[in-house]
Structure 1
Amino acid sequence: MKSHLRILLLILAFGFPVLSQAQKIDHDQLISDIKYLSSDELEGRKPMSEGNIKAQAFIKERFEKLGLSSQYDDFTQTFSFTNKREGAIYEKAANIVGFIPGSESSKIIVVMGHYDHIGRKGDDIFNGADDNASGTVAMLALAEYFSKNRPKHSMMFVALDAEEMGMQGAKALVADFPFPMEQVKLNINMDMVSRNDNNELYAVGTHHYPFLKPILEKASSGRSPKLMFGHDQPGSGRDDWTNASDHAQFHQKKVPFIYFGVEDHNDYHTPRDTFENIQPEFFKGAVELILACLITLDSDLLN
């Protein structure tokens, strides 16, 4: 009888912690968040639209709930720009910025995804579920994890505005960065991470920063989706994603980057990029995979 009791106690002592740590991301929250950010209520989140402002409030409320600090009042970095295509001036676009100080290093890992999308065209709403409610929601999930598990490096979590209008939010962030740019150890950008028929997620940037590849290979071993490398070869035209999204602004400042994303699908930049067309299991796995990579990078880049 005592041996059975001892076995039970061992299971309770060692089994439950393993189970509790197996899932590091709140999957229900992840799906709920992307459903809201890509809903018709937000009307495609075009900069300075009512839906865009609702998205800002949603992200700020989450940062506040998680106890994040910020170098900007109300988590908000406002900026203005001219959209030459429209001939319009956007005076109050906004990046939403949260911060967690590191336990062992003042160097910073900037984790980001753009929350804006195209908005409306006539009667059509471009909801932008994959592009890029998915990356924004992934950023929120990572912020939640590290708010409960303090990172070794300081981490800045950023929801960027106006990517679809020429990476204006990223340009503003880099131009008005609250620390010396030399303090940034790494930039992580997530843009389209919720669906792929081949079960593949790309980590772009290791051609330029090859020291990152073995760290990512170690972190992603045995995980699903499969982590792929490439789309960063100079001279490969549209197949080169080095300057395809907001990470380009950090790369231009010689900050190492990894861009997590999928290859374009038929619903890209169409009204069909909706919540109903994401692949929930892929999305959950992709965010878990990115988290595993970020945990390993946070540890391995200390030296």
Structure 2
Amino acid sequence: MKSRFMKTTSVLAFVAALSLSAQAGEKAEFSKENAVEVIKTLSADDMQGRGTGTEGNAKARAYLMDKLKAMKLEPLDGTYEYPFDFTVKRRNGDELSLSAVNLLFRIKGSDSGGKSIVISAHYDHVGVRGGEIFNGADDNASGVAGLLAAAEHFQKHPPKHDVIFALFDAEEVGLQGARAFVKEIPEAAGDVAFNINFDMLSRSDKNELYAAGAYHTAALKPVIEKVAAAAPVKLLMGHDDPKLGSNDWTLQSDHGPFHREGIPFLYFGVEDHPHYHRPSDDFETVPIDFFMRSIETVVMAAEAIDDDLGQITK
């Protein structure tokens, strides 16, 4: 049995304090309690690491669908579920066929002009390996919590543009969910002009969150700088230059397929840490303070992208 590093009561007390501060008028409006519940539930042992095609993955998806319904979020085109099939090669050369399901919903904009923004986060993780559960709290239950926080914010502050929220499956086996989406973008999604992707938002000993994408879309730089000036974390630009080799994140998460299709992106994530793709990536090891401030930052950024989309994409 895993050891538990944080008392539930202390987490709840911390969240209650944050909720009181939210009433003072912070820029990003979302439920801190809801964000904690999402990351804790998705990274619990009974989700079995949320590996694509597993019972744990299906359980996570069912939980998320219940959450979307409870939040009264509109399915993209009458349904949340968009299934797809794909084949991957194993290390021994054998091919493995899998079925997966993306979850899509929408908040309509006030004056979109036909253009839409996709906010994405993957809900799958790597499952069980060697008898150990890889719960994936940071990777990427944290990003899912960030996406739902952005949805809460835009429910209270309607966006200018249609915002399509994409909870992608099968990221961990080759960005398959995002690839399936961009290969056949649903007509109801409109003219997808931009992708904002959240992947690993919840832990940084340096209090740092990276925004990648300005190298490829120079018009993003002043937008990111504006957000960084007000952000409650240290928001840095980087990890998007091809000269960086493996430290170039341009194609390393679900924004990659959008980039390949010529759709500009902004990716938010932390640098790798000792818990990355390890069984220790549990809710109990997540620094809740940074997690909350990170989510606040990405929600602020999503609103800034919506405000300045015309300038960014012209």
The normalised TM-score by structure 1 is: 0.90
1:126 aligns with 2:134: yes
Partner of 1:102: 109
Contact 1:98 1:158 in 2 (8 A): yes
Partner of 1:47: 52
Alignment of 1:268-279 (within 5 A): 268-279=276-287
Q: Which amino acid aligns with 2:270?
A: V
Q: For 1:131 and 1:17, how far apart are their aligned partners in 2?
A: 26
Alignment of 1:151-230 (within 5 A): 151-179=159-187, 183-230=191-238
Q: For 2:25 and 2:236, how far apart are their aligned partners in 1?
A: 29
Is there any run of 5+ residues in structure 2 with no aligned partner, and where? Answer: 1-20
- Using the aligned pairs only, state the percent identity: 43
Deviates more, 1:166-175 or 1:146-155: 146-155
The superposition leaves residues 169-199 of structure 1 with CA deviations (integer Å, 9 ceiling, x where unpaired) of 1111111211399821210001100000000
The superposition leaves residues 26-82 of structure 1 with CA deviations (integer Å, 9 ceiling, x where unpaired) of 111111110000000100000121111111112222222233223355301100011
Deviates more, 1:175-184 or 1:250-259: 175-184
1:144 aligns with 2:152: yes
Alignment of 1:68-87 (within 5 A): 68-85=73-90, 87=95
SS in 2 for 1:272: coil
The superposition leaves residues 3-35 of structure 1 with CA deviations (integer Å, 9 ceiling, x where unpaired) of xxxxxxxxxxxxx99725556121111111100
C-alpha deviation, 1:240, in angstroms = 0.6
Contact 2:137 2:286 in 1 (8 A): yes
C-alpha deviation, 1:141, in angstroms = 1.2
SS in 1 for 2:277: coil
SS in 2 for 1:202: strand
Contact 1:66 1:147 in 2 (8 A): no
Contact 1:75 1:97 in 2 (8 A): yes
Contact 1:60 1:74 in 2 (8 A): no
Is there any run of 5+ residues in structure 1 with no aligned partner, and where? Answer: 1-15
Partner of 1:66: 71
Q: For 1:124 and 1:166, how far apart are their aligned partners in 2?
A: 22
Q: For 1:84 and 1:286, how far apart are their aligned partners in 2?
A: 36
Q: For 2:252 and 2:131, how far apart are their aligned partners in 1?
A: 28
Q: For 1:172 and 1:162, how far apart are their aligned partners in 2?
A: 10
Q: For 1:300 and 1:202, how far apart are their aligned partners in 2?
A: 20
CA gap of 1:72–1:57, structure 2 versus 1, over 3 A, is farther
SS in 2 for 1:216: helix
C-alpha deviation, 1:122, in angstroms = 3.1
Q: Which amino acid aligns with 2:129?
A: K
Number of residue equivalences: 287
Contact 1:199 1:224 in 2 (8 A): no
Q: For 1:46 and 1:18, how far apart are their aligned partners in 2?
A: 38
Contact 1:125 1:271 in 2 (8 A): yes
Partner of 1:264: 272
Deviates more, 1:214-223 or 1:270-279: 214-223
Contact 1:132 1:191 in 2 (8 A): yes
Give the RMSD, CA atoms, in angstroms: 1.9
Partner of 2:15: none
CA gap of 1:28–1:73, structure 2 versus 1, over 3 A, is same
C-alpha deviation, 1:87, in angstroms = 3.2
Alignment of 1:238-249 (within 5 A): 238-249=246-257
1:56 aligns with 2:56: no
Partner of 1:26: 31
The normalised TM-score by structure 2 is: 0.87
Contact 1:45 1:119 in 2 (8 A): yes
Deviates more, 1:186-195 or 1:139-148: 139-148
Partner of 2:8: none
